[in-house]
Structure 1
Amino acid sequence: MGELRIHSVLVTGANRGIGLGLVQHFLGMPTPPKWVFAGCRDPKGQRAQELQKLASKHSNLVIIPLDVSNPASIKAAAAPVEKHLGGSGLTLLINNAGIVRSTELQEGTLEHMTQVYTTNTIGPLLMGQVFLPLLKKAAQGSPGSGLSCSKAAIVNMSSIAGSIVCPLEWDRMQIVSYCCSKAALNMLTKCQSLGYQEHGILCVALHPGWVDTDMGSSGGRKPPVTVDASVQGMLKVLSSLSEKDTGTFLDWEGKVVPW
C-alpha cells in the first residue's frame, strides 16, 4: 500500500458528517495537502460552524460556497479553486454531498425523484465536467504513467443502497429515490472511468459503511460505524488504488461491493 500524498483536494458536502470527517483527516495528515477545499451550501451558516473553526486554525483550508444541485454554483466554485491552485491542478475530487428522502414505491413523485437525482447523481456528473481541466492538469504534472489518487482522481461517495444485488432491508426502510440515485451514480462512475482514463484520472465509487451521521441515523437505528472509522478506512483504501481499480465499487474496508 502506498502513502496518500496529495497536493490538493476538494470535498463537497464538507460541513458535517463524512465530509467534515474527511476534511479533518486531510488536515491531520503527517504531510497534509497544500490546499483542502471544503464545499458547502452556506459557509457562514449555523451548520458550518465546525468548518469555520477549522478554517481559523488551518491556513490551507479554504471554504467554498457550493451547491451541487445548482449548475451555476458549481461553475462559480471553480474560479476560487483555480485561483488558489495558482497554475497547479486539483489532485482529488470527492463528490460527497448527498441527500436522502423517505420515498415509498407508491409515493414517489417526479419532484422527489428529481430532487434526489439532481444532488446525488447529476451533481457529481457536473462536478466532473467543470473540474476536469484542473484534474487533467494535476495528472499531467504527476510523474509516471499509472493511475492513483496521489496523481488525479474522482471519488464518488456511493452506498450499498445502490447495489441491485444487495438491496436494503425493504420491510424496515423504503428509500426508493435514494437507492435509484446511487445505482445511477455507480454507473456514472464507470462511465467517468472509461472517459477520463486517457487523461490519467482514476475514478472510483465508495460505500462508506452505515455511518453514524444525521443521514445514517435517520432510519431510527444507531449505525455501527463511526465517522472516524469510516474515514480512516476510506483513506487507507484510496492510498492503495491503481489503474486496475478504476471504475470499481468498493467499501470502506476495500472490499468489492457487487453492482
Structure 2
Amino acid sequence: MSDFKIQSVLITGSSRGIGLEFVQQFLKSPNPPQKIFAACRNPDGPQSQALKDLAEKHQSVIVVQIDVTHPSSVNASVKEVEKHLNGQPLDLLFNNAGVFAHNSLESETSEDMLNVYNINVVGPMLVTQAYHRLMKRAEGTGKSAIVHISALLGSLEDVPHLFSHFPVIAYRCSKAALNMLSRCHSVGYKQDGIISIAIHPGWVKTDMGGDQAPLTKEDSVGAMMKIIYSLSVEQSGTFVDWEGKVIPW
C-alpha cells in the first residue's frame, strides 16, 4: 500500500451494508486508523446493533449521529468529531449513505425523485461542505480524500446497456449528479490538498443490492480498500469501479 496515511476516517451510512463493512475492514487493516467515525442516522435503532457492538469492542470506533439531509445534524456531527480529533485533520471522508427507488420513466414521481436527490446528492454536498475545514491541509503536510460511493448506473455512456434491466430513473440521475459533485470537489478543493474520487462498488449483496447480486460486500470493500490506500493526486476527479477500472462518464 502507498504512503496515504489514514489516521482518521468518517463513513456515512455505516450501520449496515457497505458502510459497516468498511468499518470492519479498517479495523482489520495492517495500520488501522486511530479514529473511525461511524456515522449513521439512528445509532440507537435495532439496525445499528452490529455497529454498536463493534464500538464496544474497539475504542477506535466512535459512533456519530448524522442525518445527511439536515444541516443542523451535519453541523452537530462536525462538532462531535472535532472534539475527538484534538486538532488533527480528518484524513478520509466516505459519502456512502444512499437510497434506491424502483421507479421507471412511467412511474417516477416528483416526491420520490426529490427524496432520492436529497439523500444521494444534497447529503454528500452538505457533509463535504461541513467537513471541508477539517480536511484542509497546509502545503506539504500530506493529503486528504473524499470518496463518493457512486454507481455504474450513473454513467451517461452506459445507459443503453443496462437501461432495460434497471430503469430506476431517480437513482440513475442522482448518481450522475453525484459524479459531477465529485468532479467539482476535485477541482475546487485541489489547492487544499484534497483528493476526490467516485467509486462504483459493483452490484453487491446488501439490503439495497439484493440476494441476486454477484459480489459479496467483503470482496467489494476489500478491493476498494486497495484503491483507497493507494490514492494519488493523479486519480482525483476520476470515476472507477471497485477494481480500479475507469468508468466512462
Q: TM-score with structure 2 length normalisation?
A: 0.96
Partner in structure 1 of residue 207 of structure 2: 214
Report deviation, 1:3. Answer: 5.2
Aligned to 1:244: 234
- 3-state DSSP of counterpart to 2:146: strand
Poorly superposed stretches of 4+, deviation over 4 Å: none
What's the CA shift string for 1:37-63, capped at 9, x where partnerless? 001111011000100110010001000
Matched, 1:166 2:178: no
1:84-233 pair list within 5 angstroms? 84-136=84-136, 139-140=137-138, 143=141, 151-167=143-159, 169-217=162-210, 222-233=212-223
CA distance in 2, matches of 1:73, 1:126: 10
Once the 2 structures are TM-superposed, how far is the Cα of residue 159 of structure 1 from its aligned partner?
0.3
Q: 2:140, 2:228 → 1: CA distance?
A: 17
Alignment match, 1:34: 34
Q: 1:182-222, CA deviations, whole angstroms, 9 ceiling, x for partnerless residues?
A: 000000000010000000000000000111111011xxx61
Mapped partners of 1:4, 1:225: distance in 2: 27
Residue 140 of structure 1 aligns to a residue whose secondary structure is: coil
The one-letter code of the counterpart of 2:101 is: R
Amino acid at match of 1:79: K
Which has the higher mean CA deviation after the structures are superposed, 59-68 or 105-114?
105-114
CA displacement at 1:143 relative to structure 2: 3.2
Residues 1:50 and 2:43 aligned together: no
Q: Distance in 1 between matches of 2:140 and 2:215?
A: 35
Letter in 2 for 1:39: A
CA distance in 1, matches of 2:24, 2:3: 18
Quick one: which amino acid aligns to residue 253 of structure 1? E
Structure 2: tracts of 5 or more residues without a match: none
What is the root-mean-square deviation of aligned Cα atoms in Å? 1.4
Alpha-carbon contact 2:69-2:126 (below 8 Å) kept: no
Q: Secondary structure at the match of 1:33?
A: coil
CA distance in 1, matches of 2:33, 2:145: 14
Structure 1: which 5+ runs fail to align? 145-150
> Structure 2 counterpart of 1:14, which letter?
S
Q: Give the AA of the match of 1:250.
A: V
Q: Give the superposition deviation at 1:134.
A: 0.3
Partner of 1:147: none
Aligned residue number for residue 12 of structure 2: 12
Shift of 1:173: 2.9
Aligned residue pair count: 248
TM-score, length of structure 1 as denominator length: 0.92
Residues 130-168 of structure 1 show CA distances to partners (whole Å, capped at 9, x for unaligned) of 0001001xx238635xxxxxx201110000010011126
Shift, 1:257, TM fit = 0.5
Map of 1:25 onto structure 2: 25
Cα separation, 1, equivalents of 2:231 and 2:77: 28
Task: Decide which moves more: 174-183 or 3-12.
Answer: 3-12
Greater shift after overlay, 184-193 or 104-113? 104-113
Contact residue 4 and residue 231 of structure 2 kept, 8 A: no
Instruction: Tell me the distance in 1 between the aligned counterparts of 2:232 and 2:29.
Output: 21
2:197 partner SS = strand
Q: Who is 1:148 aligned against? A: none
Q: 1:96 to 1:242 in 2, by over 3 A?
A: same
